[in-house]
Structure formats: C-alpha cells, structure tokens
Structure 1
Amino acid sequence: MVSMCTPVTEEGRHVFEIVGYSKHRGMGHDAFIRSGTFSVGGHEWAIRFHPDGYSSSSGNGDIDFISVYLELLDKDAKVRASCDLSLVVQNTGLSTSVHKTGPRIFHQGQNSGFAPQTNVFMKRNELKASGYLQNDRLTIECVVTVMMKPQVATTKFLNKIDLPPSNIIENLGSLLETEEGADVRFSVRGETFAAHRLVLAMRSPVFKAELYGTMMEGRSQLVTIQDMQPAVFRALLHFIYTDSFPDMVDHEGDAIIEMIRHLIVAADRYAMDGLKLICQSILCEKLNVMTVATTLALAYQHNCDMLKDACHEFLTASNSNVLDIVIATPGYKNLKTTCPSVLADAFEKAMKRRKT
C-alpha cells in the first residue's frame, strides 16, 4: 500500500483603496481604518491601516511608520495562512510587495490574529516620496493563502509500467524550430518564416482556406503577410505549434501588454478562438487606469465580449477621481477620436450600473 499527503491551499486577493489619505492622518496612535471584509478559505478577513502607526503589546511602536495588517475576523477561529502585502504604484497600476508573511497560525482576538507581527510597514517619509501615494490616494493589495486540510490518498501497490507523458507538443515545437519538412514560407516585413501547411490548417480555418483552398496563397511557396510585425507572427506560430506563448525575454511591462494586444488582432484575423480567449484573460488581469481605454477600443474592434465586460465593470466600479485619470490618458483621447460610439456606450453602461 502507498499513501500520499498533498497540501491543499486556497488563495484570495483584495485591494483596499484609501482616498483622501491626508485626511486620515492625525487619527491618533493605534487608531485605524478597516477595509471591507473578504472571504478566503471559508474565513473572513480584512486589511487594517494605521495612518499614525501602531504599537504592539510590547509597546515598540514607531510613529514615523505607517502600519498595515491582515486581520482574521472569525471569532475563536484558528487558521493557518500566509499573506503578501503590497502597495500599488498609482500611475502604472503595478504592485510591489512590501511585506510577506510565511504560513503561520492566525487566532482571532489575540495579537496572533494579525500579520505581519511587526508594526513597521513603511517609513512615512518614504511613502510620501514614492509613487504609491499620488493625488492623495493610497492603494493596498493583499494576497492571502489559506492552508486547508491536506488531502491524503491511499492506493494499492500494483505491478505496472510507468508510461512517459505525451511529448507531442515538444515534437511539434521541434518541428517548427528545425523547419524539417516545411512546405510553405511566410514573408513578414523582410523576415522569412518556414512552416507546415497541415499544422497551420489544423489549427486555423483561415490558414486552411488560404493554403488548401482556391486562394492564391494555396499555390505559392512564399506567402506575404501584411499588417503584422515579425515578432507577433513568430509568437503566433509558436502558439499554433505548442499551444503556449514563447518566452518574452525582450518584453517587460507595457511591452508585454502591447504584444498581447497584437496577438488578439492576429487571433481574430485567423479565427483562433482559443488564443483570443487566453489573450483576453491576460488583458483583464492587466486592466488599470492607464490601459482600460485602449483595451476597451480593442475589445470592440475585435468582438472580445469577455474583455468588453471587464472594461465596463472596471469603469463602473471606479469613482469619479479614477475616471478623471482615465479621461486624461492617451488611450482615452485616441478612443474619443477613433471610436466615439464605443466611448458613449461604455460610459452609458457605467452610469446605468451605478444607478442600480
């Protein structure tokens, strides 16, 4: 007999926006404001923010620091969990981890009901000089991981031969890399890519029509691709052969978002719905005040319903100050010029949802 114990975890994320930060100053040492409650692992949690610092039972508080905690709210509960407290850069929407707490026991009603176990989160003068505090707004992000009851499985020991995992994806990727047996080439802005007609036709109905139909491309050994960058076509081919994205070592931050936007256009062009959905999901996770307008225009232009809904939800959930920032972005100005009907529809839906 063989038994195996597997850890089981549940993760949740909560964002706490503090508007009018300066007006919360002067509440007094140990005074705090608390976020809305959120549930992770069947337990209720909240973020506590002490603008003027907090002194623990040991009395070692420091008023030159702000204090931020994850708090367990369930009475008499003992929960094993870890947390990662981050601050969000206002003009980019990107978060930076400030304090991580490894797995430990949270016990409501005691000091152990909080994490971290230090009241020193960030110096107040460092916060003031950082990009985290802008327009009198501070955004705290907390990721909670709750350790659930581990899963224990018992199985009979059987004489058997272990089979290796499928390597078809690896083989197809090698086929693309080595160009072995390639029977069609694509010219994209001066770069040439070799591929296999059958693989492309299997993955895209548009490629199938172009390469096996009556269109000119079906009879040509060299197909010219218009209106696409070589890096985007390379990533498209990589996904066709491996069902995954290539390592984007040359892309960071906004460059990755821009690449995903181009891939949505390519996925729509070649009717690759799976790739289109994956790209929508990535852009949903990257939504912030700087990207929402451009992303909304893209969603309308390429019939990305999931992405449209996410943009509308973002605008609806945003207060007037956030909307003012959105309106000031280049993406909004471009959307206003090129797609005024999209803009009107988006803000009309946002206002209707606010009223309900």
Structure 2
Amino acid sequence: MANSSTSSVNTPILESSSRCLTECVTTAHNFEVIRFSKLEGMGAGKFINSSTFSVSGYDWNKAAHLSVFLCFCSGATGVKVEYTLSLLEKDGRVSQTASIPYTFQNVGGYWGRDKFIEKSKLKELLSRNGDCFTIRCVLTVMKEPRTEDLGTVIVPVPQSDMHTHFASMLKDGEGVDVTFSVGCQLFSAHRCVLAARSSVFKAELFGQMKETTMKSIKIDDMEPAIFEALLHFIYTDSLSSDVDRIVALQHLFVAADRCGMDRLKAICEGKLCHRIDVQTVATTLTLAEQHHTVHLKNACLRYLSSEGVLRAVKETDGFKHLTTSCPSIMIDILDKVDPPSRV
C-alpha cells in the first residue's frame, strides 16, 4: 500500500521578483503678474499667458486671472500629468494651492481651476503685495510604466549627510585653527575647509600673504551676520534660513564675489532676480553692474521698463546713488525704457 503521508510533504517553492516602475519628470515654473489691477475690464473670455515651458519633451504654459489653467501646447497626446498650482505672495508665502491630476488627450487642451481664488481674497492679497503676485506651477509628467527584474540585490543607500557633519564640526569648534574678527564678534573656523571652498581664503591662509601665520584675521566692511551666513554655506553648501531679506541677500552676494565663491554668488543672484521691487531695484542694479552679473542686470532693466516703474524709482535714494556710482548704466536704462524707433 502506498504511504498516504507522502502527499502532505512540503516542497520548496521557487520564487522570483520583478517591479513595475513609472518614471516621472518634474519641473517648476513661476509666472509673475505685476500691477494686476490694470487688467480689470479686459473683457470676457480674455486671459493672460505665461511663457511656454518644457517638461520631458512636452511644452506647456499656464493662463492666469481669477481662474488658473494649465495648457498643453505640444507633444505626444495622452500624456498623464500631476501638477500643483500655487499662488505666492511677495515674500514667497503660499496663499492658495490646488493639486490636480489629469490626462491631456489633445494639443491645445487645458485643465485647471475656474474658481481658483475668491475675488475678495485676491484684492486683500494685492493690497499687501504691491498689486502683484506669482503663480507657481510644479508639473510632473508620468512616462509609460516599465517592468524590471529584481533578481539582483538592491542595497538601500542613505542620503548624504556630510554637510551635517561639517556643520557640527563648525558648531562644536573641534580642531579650529583660525579666528576671524568681524565687527564686534569673533568666528572660529578650520583653515583647510576654508581653503578648499574658496580660492581667496586659500591665498590668504596658505599663500605668501601675512595671514599665513596669523591665528586671528580682521574682516572689514562686512556685517557679522553676513560672515556667519558665509561660513554656513562654506561648511554646508546651503543657504542659511536667516538670509531672506533683500538687503541681506545683497550683502551676501557681495561677500560671495569678494571670496571667489561662484556658486553662492549665483544662488544669491537668482534669488535677487525674483525679489526686485521699487525700493531696491536701483541698489540691486548698482551691484549687478559693479559685480558684472548679466542675468541680474537684465532682470532689473526689465523691471524698470514696466509702465510707471521708473518714475517711482527715481524718487528713491538708491537711484541717486546709482546715477553717481554707475552713470553709464543710464544709457542701458533709456534703451530699455524708451528704445529708439526703427527706421
């Protein structure tokens, strides 16, 4: 007789694994609207557009009034997207947001929110933001899913935390070998770290200059808070959260150029390009001209070319300083504000 127990014997089950991946490409586009009240009464069915921006081979733009829509301009149809539309105030704070998933089947199609913000709330926002706001679109395009074999072992790798170790080293003061006197404050740091991050510090600390053997170096013409922000970037490669005001960004921009730190200078330049207003455009333009930054200079000139802006800027102290310190820039301003007519 056959042994019936053999039918209950457990046999090993061979297993394999695979995974479905949907690749995503994300980008953000900011659309600034200045003097929104001038658009009142433009007519039913009319709207204003942002410039076209591309994500993964698809072109888009967004139209903004009391409603906000994303328009599919070009590319293969049937593209699935997820996007967030946010209304930003002048200081970058988000006042309104909407997250939207959608599949665009036709070029020229659009989708969004026809009641994005109530008119009464929009008027309150405009009154405290100089009649302007920015609409930010963060758009993710989902590609076709694909399947991959998981036969190989995947070891998760933690995110880099080197910057936190350097920040702790600066905070704890372990191994510091040079002190900077800035205003009435003292800052300790590591010569090797400074030299590795700045060619100017390298020349001062390891070159033939007198600072090579000095343990204390005096820094003139710089506020302690700006030097602290400079050290923070040197050790962490990130901008300090304390540097948010336009004046602080201007000073840090100058300090970065002075220390030969091109990445920090470019970061400050980018932020200043988005923080231009009537009271600061002249001083920002002066810095752009003195420190040879084309993008920041062009951003200031574009702002000055807006209707009525130059008249208001002329009343500021910064404009008086601009005319005396950089008189040649007046030609660029006139060419931008009142370009010569073509024959």
TM-score (norm 2): 0.75
In structure 2, C-alpha distance between the alignment counterparts of 1:96 and 1:242, rounded to whole Å: 25
What are the ranges of 5 or more consecutive residues in structure 1 without an aligned counterpart? 50-66
Check 1:328–1:155 CA distance in 2 against 1; reply closer, same or farther (3 A cut).
farther
> Hey, what does 2:327 align to over in structure 1?
340
> Hey, what does 1:207 align to over in structure 2?
201
Partner secondary structure for residue 126 of structure 2: coil
Check 1:247–1:10 CA distance in 2 against 1; reply closer, same or farther (3 A cut).
closer
Aligned partner (choices 89, 100, 107) of residue 97 of structure 2: 100
Aligned CA-pair RMSD: 3.7
Matches within 5 A, 1:223-234: 223-234=217-228
Matches within 5 A, 1:64-103: 67-70=66-69, 72=71, 80-84=81-85, 86=87, 93-94=90-91, 97-103=94-100
Does residue 47 (structure 1) correspond to residue 48 (structure 2)? The answer is no
The one-letter code of the counterpart of 2:192 is L
Does residue 263 (structure 1) correspond to residue 263 (structure 2)? The answer is no
CA displacement at 1:284 relative to structure 2? 1.7
CA displacement at 1:291 relative to structure 2? 3.0
CA displacement at 1:234 relative to structure 2? 1.0
- Check whether the contact 1:203–1:272 (CA below 8 A) recurs between aligned residues: yes
In structure 1, C-alpha distance between the alignment counterparts of 2:299 and 2:213, rounded to whole Å: 43
Aligned partner (choices 23, 30, 33) of residue 13 of structure 1: 30
- Check whether the contact 2:23–2:142 (CA below 8 A) recurs between aligned residues: no
CA displacement at 1:211 relative to structure 2? 1.7
Aligned partner (choices 44, 47, 57) of residue 34 of structure 1: 47
Check 1:172–1:123 CA distance in 2 against 1; reply closer, same or farther (3 A cut).
closer
- Check whether the contact 1:294–1:335 (CA below 8 A) recurs between aligned residues: yes
Worse-matched range after superposition: 149-158 or 229-238? 149-158
- Check whether the contact 1:72–1:108 (CA below 8 A) recurs between aligned residues: no
What are the ranges of 5 or more consecutive residues in structure 2 without an aligned counterpart? 1-16
In structure 2, C-alpha distance between the alignment counterparts of 1:107 and 1:47, rounded to whole Å: 16
Q: For this pair of structures, how many residues does the alignment match?
A: 316
> Hey, what does 1:280 align to over in structure 2?
269
> Hey, what does 2:3 align to over in structure 1?
none
CA displacement at 1:295 relative to structure 2? 1.0
Partner secondary structure for residue 244 of structure 1: coil
Larger Cα-atom Rg: 2
Q: Percent identity?
A: 31
- Check whether the contact 1:99–1:116 (CA below 8 A) recurs between aligned residues: no
In structure 2, C-alpha distance between the alignment counterparts of 1:85 and 1:167, rounded to whole Å: 31
> Hey, what does 1:322 align to over in structure 2?
309
Check 1:191–1:354 CA distance in 2 against 1; reply closer, same or farther (3 A cut).
farther
Aligned partner (choices 121, 124, 132) of residue 117 of structure 2: 121
Worse-matched range after superposition: 331-340 or 163-172? 163-172
> Hey, what does 1:184 align to over in structure 2?
178
